[in-house]
Amino acid sequence: MMKEWVNSKYGELPFKEVQLVDVSFTGPKDREETAFIQYNLLMKKEILQGHLEFRSGKGKFVITKDADLKKLFTQGSLKAKVDKVEVIPYENVVDANYLLRLQIKGPAKLF
């Protein structure tokens, strides 16, 4: 079965909509462990972009629309709570990409 692509001003994109997820977390003891957990999360195919901030205990992720949030944020010592889920057009993620920012008017900010 072929994946359907979505036409946009940037050409064909693999997703029409994605989820922008804010999480708060506890568990990691230091920045290195947080970075390791973040790396493992980014290796999952459902997560397109993401960041965990050790000091604030907050994180933000762009994930596919059909991902299971409860399963996704169970990783090692990480205890994450989903604070906010917002469905956004994938085109907004592409707009915020630094390399494509020259093609749009004004700065675009996702995070």
Sequence-distant (≥ 6) Cβ neighbours of residue 3 within 8 angstroms = 14
Residue 53 lies in a domain: yes
CB count in 10 Å sphere of residue 104 = 14
Residue 92 lies in a domain: yes
Q: In the beta sheet, which residues pair with residue 25?
A: 80
Q: How many domains does the chain have?
A: 1
The pLDDT tens digits for 1-46 are 456 677 767 677 788 899 999 999 999 999 999 999 999 999 999 9
Residue 7 lies in a domain: no
**DSSP category for residue 93:** H
Query: CB–CB of 40/76 below 8 Å?
Result: yes
Residue 56 lies in a domain: yes
Mean pLDDT of 41-59: 93
Residue 6 lies in a domain: no
**Single pTM value for the model:** 0.78
Confidence of residue 103 (pLDDT cuts 50, 70, 90): very low
Residue 83, pLDDT score: 95
The pLDDT tens digits for 59-89 are 999 999 999 888 888 877 889 999 999 999 9
Sequence-distant (≥ 6) Cβ neighbours of residue 32 within 8 angstroms = none
Domain housing 18: 12-103
Residue 99 lies in a domain: yes
Cβ-based burial of 18 (10 A; exposed 0-12, middle 13-18, buried ≥19) = buried
Residue 76 lies in a domain: yes
What CATH number is given to the structural domain containing 61?
3.30.70.100
